[in-house]
């Protein structure tokens, strides 16, 4: 797979994951990639609910495998064995990214 297609596909998959998490997390009071209201320092952004935002860092090994139709598939690194014990050539890379989260305030803080 060419580099530009790899980057595009990887960023779209990360974006979809963030979008899905944003739509699933409100029932737990968690905000995913929320816009901070202020920051005491670049490392400590303050969320809309007044708590410090926490960064979740992902360091993921991924594989790129060419499909016979010319499409490419990106997946989290895993090993598989082909038919009759033959192996498939797989290209692996690592990507690292961080997504900020804002957790709800403790119920003790509300009293």
Q: Is residue 7 part of a domain?
A: yes
In a domain, 46, yes or no: no
Which residue segment(s) compose the domain that 10 sits in? Answer: 3-36+60-99
Tens digit of each residue's pLDDT (9 = 90 or more) over 63-73:
776 655 555 55
Contact between residue 37 and residue 28 where contact means Cβ atoms under 8 Å apart: no
Q: What is the pLDDT of residue 72?
A: 55
Lowest mean pLDDT of 28-32, 83-87, 97-101, name the range. 83-87
More confident residue, 3 or 88: 3
Neighbour-count burial for 38-63, b at 16+ CB within 10 Å, e otherwise: eeeeeeebebeeebebeeeeeeeebb
Q: How many domains does the chain have?
A: 1
User: What per-residue confidence (pLDDT) applies to 16?
Assistant: 92
Q: Summarize pLDDT for 7-60 with one digit per residue, the tens.
A: 888 889 989 999 999 998 888 888 888 877 766 666 677 787 778 888 889 998
Q: How confident is the model at residue 91 (pLDDT cuts 50, 70, 90)?
A: confident
| Separation CA 65–CA 92 (nearest Å) | 9
């Amino acid at each position: 797979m060419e580099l530009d297609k790899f980057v595009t596909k990887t960023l779209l998959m990360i974006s979809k994951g963030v979008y899905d998490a944003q739509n699933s997390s409100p029932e737990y009071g968690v905000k995913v990639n929320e816009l901070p209201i202020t920051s005491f320092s670049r490392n400590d952004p303050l969320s809309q609910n007044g708590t410090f935002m926490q960064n979740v860092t992902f360091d993921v090994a991924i594989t790129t495998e060419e499909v016979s139709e010319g499409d490419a598939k990106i997946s989290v690194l895993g090993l598989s064995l082909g038919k009759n014990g033959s192996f498939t050539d797989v290209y692996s890379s690592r990507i690292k990214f961080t997504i900020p989260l804002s957790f709800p305030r403790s119920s003790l803080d509300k009293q």
